């Protein structure tokens, strides 16, 4: 029975951790824009940013 | 069908008159394209997907730079400025990317994030507050419109309510999971011989989890129940709250006395299930409402005021004062009531009068808010504001009419009203029966009575309606039909009559060429007409198909167009404009708005137009008639036009020249005779009638106020949405009734068990969960059948499609 005294608090603690994480994500607005979040991962602006940066550098050189 | 060149930036057809042709429709678009090229962002054009429902991305001719963005800007302690803007013109994710990238290129900008769901932009920057004009300039140059808003004012009750429900749902879900885990152990222990001390420990643990969780997660129900009792009414939340509180109280008492009957799991799972229903319900309606709000925000435009010293500034329409001079650009919606002081133009008054052909306006004439200025800029002196405008007059009519509708009681509350007393009486009778007749000690009698309350707690009953409604509104939402009001679907099932408005509802609101004319004349006329925005000109171009616009055309607003032909000026316009004698009629007796083409040395050609019915109007009316609906056509237009349409569609009952008050009175009179009507209309003049009808629908192209008044807003060109909505509403109604029957059947079995004192916590938990699941499964059947939509709405009659292509 003594293992229960250990396991139940652990289970509850883990559950509360999950609940806390969910409430935090809700508060920080992660559920506000589901559509945008799905699309945002597809923006690969690496190449654009690089092109822009090199242009800027050139401008500074001249 | 047309092969006219499309603008490279906004993808709209390019007219020959374009100063930036042949690739661009206007210099604004050319500038935007060039700017993107310079910034290395041209890949935007490859990524984007144009959404035809959204306004084309054409930059405004007059930059909105003077719009006052600083008013709603807030500054935090660190000197960072924040501003919330509504963005109009977002087509797809690439637009989001473009806007964010354009803004972040500016060094001052700290954060720019577009919320794609709500189409709102939150911008943070450092430096001077007034830099904002320069920061947003590139975005405006792309053709997006930015409208500052105050998030606090827009943070509607529904949004925060839904967030609260989600928080409660999370807490209840956590508690239900853990309590159920402990309960399963207790049940297993019951068969395997768990020691009393362990059982008590588990009960205490359950209490520790369930009590605070239920206190928090049950708040939405307790609040609503208290509100109902204060108003001396009973709603579904009263028996729910009572059941939960009593179940928890009794379980606690049992735990304290080390007895076996603890219902913590039932109480908290019940809350969990109910919260799921509530949350889904709120979210589905929230989605429909936010879609409707976004449609409205597209029309919400500020007005341009010209001060005495000639400076222009943009203000909100409600801030206008009598005597101010307002500029209404061509193609813009007029925001105020006033008198024209300068300019001559055509005004589209269809939203107010129902007349589909624009009327000529010149200095001295009065114009009303809500109408659209078509061909040339106008200067208007504001004559009435606030409560004196035609619009607010109509709003008053509408609000009066809406009071009657507020009295409608949802079916769930009607059921609760008769259900709750029966349950409470049963429980009381159980207590009295066991105590007085059965001879049990009062504690045991009370326990049996509470068991009755727990088992009858209307879990399935309370889920029966919301689950069906969520699925029904979700299905309609995907079909472009937005259900705004909570009881709209229920009311829709009751209707027996349908009242249609004419212009913009049964018809497309766009005139089409109907007369047969010489193809050469038509082509020449279309070439000239391609330079104008007048609806009749556009109809000519549509009818002619592929035309190259002819150069050197001048437009005289309200009269016609003049082109320089090889043998002298060619005139296209009204009969007087083309100098044609009144009696020189040509062999065409079709009545309707007309245009004349006068070429030197040739006999004049006449083009007749008609506001044609929507493609599927014919078949929709046919289907509705076959189903026995009693249909009426109400219009503010002239009798000849209305009769023509009524005859085409086979509507026997029609009324022309109806004022907004007439329409509302007509609907009211029918309602007073006990008729339940569905009003379908789009104009400002329909708004009062929409509000006083039993149920109402409005197309998404309708005036703002009509969309507000209507229960249901539908997008797209198909009138078939009316049938679709009625179908889904009826199906949903059937499922709701089935669900009620299922819940009652379940109660018929369990109540005798409870009354006779046989209900243990295990039986309660199984009975409650299974009944909820059965009800949800039944509601899902609405989903399953959605693969077979109405087979009547899509049919396009051969003659109508021919007409459209003629």
**What value does the mean pLDDT take over residues B373-385?**
82
Predicted pLDDT at B67: 57
Q: Quick one: pLDDT at residue A55?
A: 45
Of the ranges B14-28, B285-299, B774-788, which one carries the lowest mean pLDDT score? B285-299
Whether residues B121 and B179 share a domain: the answer is no
Q: Hey, is the C-beta of B115 within 8 angstroms of any chain A C-beta?
A: yes
Q: What is the pLDDT of residue B169?
A: 93
Q: pLDDT band at residue B788, thresholds of 50, 70 and 90?
A: very low
B204 at the A interface (CB within 8 A)?
no
**Count of pairs with CB atoms under 8 A, one residue in A, one in B:** 58
What is the mean predicted confidence (pLDDT) over B250-273?
A: 87
What pLDDT sits at residue B498?
92
The predicted pLDDT at position B206 comes to 92
Is the pLDDT assigned to residue B658 strictly greater than 50? yes
Q: pLDDT-based confidence at B173, cuts 50/70/90?
A: very high
> Are A36 and B116 in contact (CB < 8 Å)?
yes
Last residue of some domain: B685, B706, B723?
B723
Q: Are residues B221 and B117 in the same domain?
A: no
In this structure, the answer to whether residues B577 and B602 fall within a common structural domain is yes
The minimum CA-CA distance between A5 and chain B, rounded to whole Å, is: 10
The secondary structure element, H or E, covering residue B372 is: strand B372-373
Task: Answer whether B284's CB lies under 8 Å from B39's CB.
Answer: no
Domain of residue B372, residue span: 323-388
Q: Is the pLDDT of residue B301 over 90?
A: no
Domain check: are B217 and B119 in the same one? no
Which range has the worst mean pLDDT, B208-222, B309-323, B636-650? B309-323
Same domain, B351 and B261: no
B143 lies in some domain: yes
pLDDT at B398 over 80: no
- CATH number of the domain at B337, please: 2.70.150.10
Structural domain includes residue B784: no
The secondary element (H helix, E strand) that includes residue B80 is: strand B80-88
Bridge partners, B357 (sequence order)? none
Mind listing the pLDDT tens digit for each residue in B461-503?
777 787 888 888 888 888 888 887 778 888 888 889 999 988 8
* Confidence class for position B191, pLDDT limits 50, 70, 90: confident
3-state SS string for B108-164: CEEEEEEECCCCEEEEEEECCHHHHHHHHHHHHHHCCEEEECCHHHHCCHHHHHHHH
Asked if residue B435 is part of any domain, the answer here is: no
**A1 CB contacts (<8 Å, ≥6 apart)?**
B198
Residue B158 has pLDDT above 80, yes or no: no
Q: What is the DSSP string of B393-458?
A: HHHHHHHHHHHHHTT---HHHHHHHHHHHHHHHHHHHHHHIIIIIS---HHHHHHHHHHHHHHHS-
Q: Do B501 and B648 belong together in one domain?
A: yes
Q: B205 and B194 in one domain?
A: yes
Q: In chain B, pLDDT over 70 holds for what percent of residues? A: 84
For the beta carbon of residue B349, count every other beta carbon within 10 angstroms: 24
How much is the pLDDT for B789? 43
Report the pLDDT averaged over residues B177-199: 85
pLDDT in tens, A4-54: 788 888 988 999 999 999 999 988 888 777 777 888 777 765 544 444 444
Shortest CA distance from B115: residue in chain A:
A33
Work out the minimum CA distance from A36 to partner chain B, whole angstroms: 5
Q: Residue B351 pLDDT > 90, yes or no? A: no
Mean pLDDT, to the nearest integer, of B274-299? Answer: 68
- Please report the pLDDT score of residue B792 as a whole number: 40
C-beta atoms of A18 and B174 within 8 A: yes
Tokens describing residue B23: 């690739």
Tens of pLDDT, residues B576-614 = 777 776 555 554 455 667 788 888 777 778 888 887 888
Rg (CA), chain A: 24
pLDDT at B275 over 50: yes
Chain A interface mutation, best of B103, B138, B178, highest count of A Cβ atoms under 10 Å:
B178
Here the ipTM equals 0.72
Average pLDDT over residues B627-652: 86
Name the pTM for this structure.
0.69
Same domain? For B522 and B634 the reply is: no
**Number of domain units in chain B:** 5
Residue A6 sits at the chain B interface (C-beta within 8 Å): no
Q: Which has more pLDDT, B301 or B475?
A: B475
Please check whether residues B642 and B571 belong to one and the same domain. no
Which of these ranges, B178-182, B592-596, B666-670, has the smallest mean pLDDT? B592-596
What does the pLDDT read at residue B387? 63
pLDDT above 70 for B54: no
Percent of chain B exceeding pLDDT 90 equals 7
Q: Does A24 touch chain B (CB under 8 A)?
A: no
**Total Cβ atoms within 10 A of residue B43:** 17
pLDDT band at A56 (very low <50, low <70, confident <90, very high): very low
A59 pLDDT more than 60: no
Determine the Cα–Cα distance for residues B570 and B568; give it in Å rounded to an integer. 7
Residue with tokens 């929709």: B620
Q: What is the pLDDT of residue B65?
A: 44
Active centre residues of B (catalytic): 501
Chain A contacts in chain B segment 83-112 (CB below 8 A): 93, 96-97, 101, 105
Residue B20's pLDDT is 65
Question: Which of the four pLDDT bands, split at 50, 70 and 90, describes residue B18?
Answer: low
- Is residue B5 classed as helix, strand or coil in its secondary structure? coil
- In this complex, is the C-beta atom of B238 within 8 Å of any C-beta atom belonging to chain A? no
pLDDT of B355 strictly over 80: no
In a domain, B735, yes or no: no
The CATH number assigned to the domain holding B138 equals 3.30.70.100
Q: Are residues B227 and B121 in the same domain?
A: no
| Residue B57, domain member (yes or no) | yes
DSSP 8-state code for residue B13: B
Neighboring chain B residues of A13 at a CB cutoff of 8 Å: none
**Domain assignment of residue B682, yes or no:** yes
pLDDT greater than 50 at residue B793: no
What token pair was written down for B475?
A: 């299905």
Quote the pLDDT of residue B635.
Answer: 85
Tell which wins on pLDDT, B543 or A55.
B543
pLDDT value at B402 more than 70? no
Picking from B135, B155, B175, the residue at the C-terminal end of a domain is: B155
Residue B684 lies in a domain: yes
pLDDT value, residue A17: 94
Note whether B607 and B618 are same-domain residues: no
Does residue B790 surpass a pLDDT of 80?
no
Say which CATH number the domain at B586 has.
3.40.1110.10
By the 10 Å C-beta count (0-12 exposed, 13-18 middle, 19+ buried), B393 is classed as middle
Q: Does B676 touch chain A (CB under 8 A)?
A: no
> Is B264 part of any domain?
yes
Tell whether B137 and B37 lie within a shared domain: yes
Final residue before a domain boundary, out of B723, B752, B776: B723
């Amino acid at each position: 029975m003594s293992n229960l005294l250990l396991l139940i608090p652990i289970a509850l603690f883990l559950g509360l951790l999950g609940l806390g994480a969910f409430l935090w994500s809700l508060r920080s607005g992660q559920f506000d824009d589901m559509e945008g979040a799905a699309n945002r991962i597809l923006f690969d602006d690496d190449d654009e940013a690089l092109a822009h940066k090199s242009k800027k550098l050139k401008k500074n050189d001249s | 069908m047309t092969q006219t060149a499309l603008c490279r930036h906004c993808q709209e057809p390019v007219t020959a008159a374009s100063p930036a042709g042949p690739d661009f429709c206007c210099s604004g678009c050319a500038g935007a394209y060039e700017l993107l090229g310079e910034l290395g962002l041209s890949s935007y054009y490859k990524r984007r997907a144009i959404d035809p429902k959204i306004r084309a991305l054409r930059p405004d001719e007059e930059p909105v730079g003077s719009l006052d963005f600083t008013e709603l800007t807030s500054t935090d302690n660190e000197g960072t400025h924040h501003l919330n803007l509504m963005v109009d013109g977002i087509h797809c994710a690439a637009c989001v990317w473009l806007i964010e990238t354009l803004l972040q290129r500016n060094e001052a900008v700290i954060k720019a994030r577009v919320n794609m769901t709500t189409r709102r932009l939150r911008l943070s920057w450092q430096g001077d507050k007034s830099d904002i004009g320069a920061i947003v300039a590139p975005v405006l140059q792309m053709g997006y419109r930015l409208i500052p808003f105050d998030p606090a004012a827009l943070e509607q009750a529904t949004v925060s309510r839904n967030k609260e429900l989600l928080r409660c749902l999370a807490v209840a879900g956590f508690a239900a999971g853990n309590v159920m885990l402990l309960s399963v152990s207790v049940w297993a222990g019951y068969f395997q011989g768990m020691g009393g001390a362990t059982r008590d420990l588990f009960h205490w643990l359950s209490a520790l989890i369930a009590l605070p969780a239920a206190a928090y997660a049950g708040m939405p129900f307790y609040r609503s129940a208290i509100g109902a009792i204060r108003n001396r009414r009973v709603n579904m939340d009263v028996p729910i709250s009572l059941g939960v509180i009593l179940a928890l109280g009794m379980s606690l008492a049992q735990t304290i006395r080390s007895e076996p009957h603890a219902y913590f799991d039932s109480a908290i799972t019940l809350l969990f299930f109910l919260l799921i229903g509530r949350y889904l319900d709120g979210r589905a309606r929230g989605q429909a409402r936010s879609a409707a709000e976004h449609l409205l925000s597209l029309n919400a435009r500020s007005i341009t005021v010209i001060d005495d010293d000639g400076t222009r500034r943009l203000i909100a329409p409600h801030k206008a004062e009598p005597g101010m001079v307002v500029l209404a650009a061509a193609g813009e919606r007029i925001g105020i009531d006033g008198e024209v002081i300068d300019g001559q133009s055509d005004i589209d008054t269809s939203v107010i009068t129902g007349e589909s052909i624009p009327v000529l306006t010149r200095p001295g004439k009065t114009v009303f808010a809500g109408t659209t200025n078509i061909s040339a800029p106008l200067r208007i002196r504001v004559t009435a504001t606030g409560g004196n405008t035609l619009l607010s007059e109509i709003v008053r009519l509408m609000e009066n009419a809406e009071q009657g509708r507020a009295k409608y009681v949802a079916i769930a509350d009607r059921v609760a009203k008769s259900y709750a007393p029966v349950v409470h009486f049963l429980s009381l009778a159980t207590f009295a029966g066991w105590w007085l007749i059965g001879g049990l000690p009062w504690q045991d009698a009370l326990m049996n009575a509470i068991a009755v309350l727990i088992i009858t707690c209307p879990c399935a009953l309370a889920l029966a309606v919301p689950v069906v409604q969520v699925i029904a509104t979700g299905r309609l939402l995907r079909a472009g039909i937005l259900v705004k009001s909570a009881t709209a679907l229920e009311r829709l099932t009751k209707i027996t009559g349908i009242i249609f408005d004419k212009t913009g509802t049964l018809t497309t609101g766009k005139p089409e060429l109907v007369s047969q004319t010489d193809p050469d004349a038509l082509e020449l006329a279309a070439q000239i007409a391609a330079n104008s925005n007048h609806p009749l000109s556009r109809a000519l171009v549509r009818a002619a198909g592929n035309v190259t616009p002819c150069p050197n055309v001048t437009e005289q607003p309200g009269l016609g167009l003049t082109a320089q032909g090889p043998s002298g000026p060619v005139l296209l316009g009204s009969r007087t404009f083309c100098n044609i004698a009144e009696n020189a009629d040509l062999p065409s007796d079709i009545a309707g708005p007309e245009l004349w083409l006068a070429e030197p040395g040739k006999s004049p050609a006449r083009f007749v137009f008609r506001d044609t019915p929507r493609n599927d109007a014919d078949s929709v009316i046919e289907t509705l008639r076959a189903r026995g609906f009693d249909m009426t056509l109400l219009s503010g237009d002239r009798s000849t036009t209305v009769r023509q349409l009524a005859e085409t569609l086979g509507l026997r009952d029609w009324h022309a020249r109806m004022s907004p008050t007439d329409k509302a009175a007509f609907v009211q009179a029918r309602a007073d005779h006990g008729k339940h009507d569905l009003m379908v209309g789009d104009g400002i003049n329909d708004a009062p009638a929409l509000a006083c009808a039993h149920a109402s629908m409005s197309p998404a192209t309708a005036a703002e106020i009509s969309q507000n008044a209507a229960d249901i807003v539908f997008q797209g060109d198909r009138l078939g949405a009316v049938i679709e909505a009625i179908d889904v509403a009826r199906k949903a109604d059937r499922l709701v009734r089935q669900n009620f029957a299922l819940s009652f059947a379940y109660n018929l079995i369990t109540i005798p068990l409870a009354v006779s004192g046989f209900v243990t916590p295990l039986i309660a938990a199984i009975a409650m969960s299974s009944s909820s699941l059965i009800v949800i499964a039944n509601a899902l059947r609405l989903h399953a059948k959605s693969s077979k939509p109405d087979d009547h709405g899509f049919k396009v009659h051969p003659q109508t499609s021919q007409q459209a292509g003629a």
